[in-house]
Amino acid sequence: MELFKKFYWLINPVLIVIFMLLAQKVFKIENTFLNTGVACALAFILSPKVRIVEKQTGEEEQIRWLFFKKVINKKI
């Protein structure tokens, strides 16, 4: 989990590249704007969401992903 806390912001760009390659090779989408739009939309939906929450001990980032049931807390 500690590695995920440090590099969660890299998931979105990696997902965009994966979905663009997938759309280009598997689905044979040649239109660049359509390919980029679909890849960005899917990556946004599947990437982790980050919220800043004020607690008694101070501010914390809450990282929540679509496939995790547990919320990951990170001190700021």
Count of domains for the chain: 1
- Give the N- to C-terminal CA distance of the chain in Å, as an integer: 16
pLDDT tens for 54-63 read: 988 889 888 8
pLDDT band for 7, please (50, 70, 90 cuts): confident
Rounded to the nearest integer, the mean pLDDT of the chain is 88
Which of 45, 35, 34 minimizes the C-alpha distance to 12?
45
The predicted structure's pLDDT at residue 69: 83
The predicted model gives 28-43 an average pLDDT of: 92
Task: Give alpha helix (H) positions in 1-76.
Answer: 2-7, 11-25, 32-46
The predicted model gives 18-41 an average pLDDT of: 92
Range of the domain at 13: 2-75
* 63 CB burial (10 A radius; 0-12, 13-18, 19+): buried
Check whether 4 has a pLDDT greater than 80. no
